[in-house]
Structure 1
């Protein structure tokens, strides 16, 4: 970026130098032209007043001494006298622009190439009292010749200006890029870096992204540690029980009991691995999610029917209320959402408790509600309940077989469907989770 900015400044400097030199040359030429014309006007008036060309037979003025060319033209355009050429050999000058203007208005001037001398000339003509026209001329260099004569000076000036421009360009580029380089080298202390106000929104965005990246990195690190811990526990149990059986130290009754423990921990391990895989798929899924119009009430009804046996085993009453309501959603994700919410409500309930599932529809949204009369969640835990592997009561989670990933999966699915998730809970009084789907 620094090289690009520096190059752009140098291009601007070169362009400015060239334009300045060209404009200066043109302005100088205009000033020169005005001065020469003013000089010719003065010479002509002096010659008229002194009567140097009143008598063509006795001309006393030598125009060459002043570097001039003097020509006298008769009324019919014929040349009577020319200080630089033979008058008899010259063409009729009646149609020369300065002669026409002098005959009509008394004076005329022009800059053109002389057909007689083949040179660029300044001309000034004035009409005499006898009707003749006195013309005074001076050779003029054109713009290119002026530039060529001053080229060494202009080139030296351009080099100096370019060097100064390059120096200032480097310093200016360095000062512009300095805050960005500081930010790149010290992302943790962006607030202490003095930058332009135009960069403040950019810095705010960078800070937020940096914090998000660091937060995600911490979450991934914590997730990895939790996964290792969660996998290690059932694997340790399986390894321990199988080792006792393998060594022959266990009795026949112990073998049956150990086999049951191994089976239970293997199932817990499979459930945990499946939840981890599903959560990873939701995190980085590159597959296109297929949405369709689904009857959320009908899906909730199937989920409640499927979990009735599980609810009875936990001595929990599971009921559904509401009416048909359609949402634009992914079928597999909706099944997971319903299952995880209902399963959690059953697992963390009390003996003889209830789980009420309802689906309601308003003009603007469809609301899924799962309410239980379970152990509830205290205020300090409610903000973190949807984090991965976060458990309010780890001992109870171990007894119920919970993985600590169910609500994390729910949160991902809700975010995927741009819905809103609400939690109301009170310790020992139950929990209610609502998912609001916009229509």
Structure 2
């Protein structure tokens, strides 16, 4: 079996999606690598910054507590030595020098008037310090402040002279946090090296993962390239992932369906050739008979010409039905949808078919249970009903009957065509909607059927998003039921026979 034009269109579209867009695979590989690296690097970086922030917070907290404790001790010493009234104690000066050297800081001592009586930097002695932290400390609110931008910690501690509750002065200590910043940089440097190594490892892992993910897609692409040359059953077996397994299974099902369509097309072409050839053969035989015989009476010529005319009509009917069927099957066909009174339309259809029924003395009855108005394509719907009723008449007994009934609910309207005719064997009922299928081929040709009427009727119902079913017993008549939505929708609501 080889790929025909219809299948080639489908295969080409799939091939285009997988092959023409190789850039998508490249982007997919890049995205997998990028996502893998981000998934690994983001936690690493978050951990690094979290550790550095925790260290900074803890180090500042410990340094502040340590300086606060030293200031408290120094405050007690200042009170004991009466340093506020006589700032000449060598012990206090020695302690102040030691404190500033150890912590690389600056200490200022203010009296109750906020006048600086001692500054280890010798810059502000004799000046008044009215900073917010000093003022708050004079109100018995010891303070501490960490200036992250300028890298220092500022601590205040009140000075109380023995036996007095009143605050007589304030110690203001400013300590550098450069050592903390240096440690932070060490963390960042070593952490950056670790993150860099992790990035390289993640990149390698991402490349391996991307190749593993994309490999099944390449297998599918290769299989589709092979299919473009000529397909066979079960060409895809890519079970690496659930998604590729589902894609493989769906593709194999599609190929099976295409094979069925190919077989159906071959059968259809064969049937069309046979059906069109039969009337042509008959006309050729009749014409040759007239040419070979001389001196035939006029009645004989007339009889032969009448037979030729019937074969021409038959040929024309086959072509007309084929064109109708092709129009029904055409994708994107135009539907002339309008609001139609179904009751009146059925009366018109039965009135047109009445002469055919009268020839066989078949009684036609229309029963409407309620007024029905629906959105339909009047031409296509008329074609479906006409074929169903005409078949009911043609394949009926002399003096038989055809009963057409119409009913509706809030969503659908229902058409039933019953007859007292020949009936359809159970084994044939699944095939009667196929093109050119006949239950009794010899009898059908005698009646004048083309084998396309039910296929046309079914397609006309389907394009209205409806369904058609058949119920029949051989020798007891046949019933066709049609269900069509009252409001036409573009999305199929379910198709059945």
1:354 aligns with 2:410: no
Shift of the 203–338 alpha-carbon distance from structure 1 to 2, 3 Å rule, reads: same
Rate the CA distance shift 1:227–1:413 in 2: closer, same or farther, 3 A. Answer: same
The answer to whether the 8 Å contact 2:282/2:311 transfers is no
TM value normalised by structure 2: 0.69
Query: Could you tell me the TM-score, scaled by structure 1's length?
Result: 0.77
Distance 1:303 1:13 in 2: 74
Say if 2:56 is the partner of 1:43.
no
1:430 aligns with 2:477: yes
Alignment of 1:156-195 (within 5 A): 156-167=193-204, 193=239
Aligned mates of 1:421, 1:265 — CA distance in 2 = 32
Distance in structure 1 (CA, Å) of the matches to 2:451 and 2:322: 10
Could you give the per-residue CA deviations for residues 130-185 of structure 1, whole angstroms, max 9, x where no partner exists?
A: 43433433212499877656543343233233334445555666777788888887
Q: 1:109 to 1:361 in 2, by over 3 A?
A: closer
Instruction: Provide the residue aligned with 2:455 in structure 1.
Output: 408
Counterpart for residue 131 of structure 2? 95
The aligned counterpart of 2:326 is: 280
Of 32, 46, 49, the match for 2:59: 32
SS at match of 2:128: coil
Deviates more, 1:330-339 or 1:38-47: 38-47
Residue 33 of structure 1: how far off its partner (Å): 0.7
The answer to whether the Cα contact below 8 Å between 2:159 and 2:170 also exists between their aligned partners in 1 is yes
For residues 314-329 of structure 1, the aligned pairs below 5 Å read 315-323=360-368, 325-328=371-374, 329=376
Q: Is contact 1:26–1:143 with CA below 8 Å preserved after alignment?
A: no
Looking at structure 2, the residues matched to 161 and 136 of structure 1 have their Cα atoms a distance apart, in angstroms, of 43
Shift of 1:431: 1.2
**SS of residue in 2 equivalent to 1:287:** coil
Distance 1:46 1:246 in 2: 137
For 1:40 and 1:413, the matched residues in 2 are separated by 94
What residue ranges of structure 2 are gaps of 5+ in the alignment? 1-23, 162-167, 225-232, 487-497
How many residues are treated as equivalent by the alignment?
A: 426
Corresponding residue of 2:495: none
The equivalent position to 2:349 in structure 1, one of 300, 303, 319, is 303
Equivalent residue in structure 2 for 1:126, among 157, 177, 184 = 157
Q: Secondary structure at the match of 1:105?
A: coil
Query: For 1:152 and 1:288, how far apart are their aligned partners in 2?
Result: 73
Secondary structure at the residue paired with 1:307? helix
Distance change in 2, residues 1:233/1:360 (3 Å): closer
**Does structure 2 conserve the Cα–Cα contact (< 8 Å) formed by 1:369 and 1:435?**
yes
Evaluate the alpha carbon distance shift between residue 414 and residue 106 of structure 1 in structure 2; reply closer, same or farther with a 3 A threshold: closer
1:72 to 1:361, Cα distance in 2 relative to 1, 3 A: closer
- Whether the aligned pair in 2 keeps the contact of 1:127 and 1:133 (CA below 8 Å) is yes
- Match of 2:315, SS? helix
- 2:309 and 2:437 map into 1 onto residues whose CA distance is 25
1:222 aligns with 2:264: yes
What root-mean-square deviation, in Å, do the aligned CA atoms of Structure 1 and Structure 2 show? 4.4
Instruction: Give, in whole Å, the separation in 1 of the partners of 2:402 and 2:282.
Output: 41
Output the CA distance in 1 between the equivalents of 2:141 and 2:333.
91
Q: CA deviation at 1:37?
A: 1.1
Note if 1:139 corresponds to 2:180: no
Distance 1:72 1:159 in 2: 50
Q: Deviations over 1:259-284 (max 9, x none)?
A: 66654444333222222221222222
- Please give the per-residue CA displacement for 1:75-94, whole angstroms capped at 9, x wherever unaligned: 22222222233453x74224
> In 1, are the aligned partners of 2:143 and 2:156 still within 8 Å (CA)?
yes
Q: 2:280: which partner in 1?
A: 238
Separation in structure 1 between the aligned mates of residue 276 and residue 303 of structure 2, nearest angstrom = 16
**What are the Cα deviations for residues 383-408 of structure 1, in whole angstroms up to 9, with x where unaligned?**
22222222222232233332222111
Query: Residues 301-347 of structure 1, C-alpha deviation per residue, up to 9 Å, x if partnerless?
Result: 4433433443455x352423325843313221232122201221233
Alignment of 1:385-404 (within 5 A): 385-404=432-451
Q: What is the rounded CA distance, in whole Å, between the counterparts of 1:209 and 1:384 in structure 2? A: 27
**2:491 alignment partner in structure 1:** none
CA distance in 2, matches of 1:438, 1:320: 24
Of residues 137, 143, 147, the one that matches 1:108 is: 143
For the 8 Å contact 1:357–1:368, the answer to whether it is kept is: no
Equivalence for 2:314: 268
What secondary structure, in the 3-state scheme, does the structure 1 residue paired with 2:58 have?
Answer: helix
For residue 424 of structure 1, give the secondary structure of its aligned residue in structure 2. Answer: strand
User: Secondary structure at 1:403's aligned position in 2?
Assistant: coil
Q: Tell me which residue corresponds to 2:13.
A: none
- Segments of 5+ residues of structure 1 without an aligned counterpart are none
User: Contact conserved, 2:79 with 2:159, CA < 8 A, in 1?
Assistant: no
1:340 aligns with 2:367: no
Per the TM alignment, residue 289 of structure 1 is displaced from its structure 2 partner at its CA by 2.5
Check whether the contact 2:76–2:159 (CA below 8 A) recurs between aligned residues: no
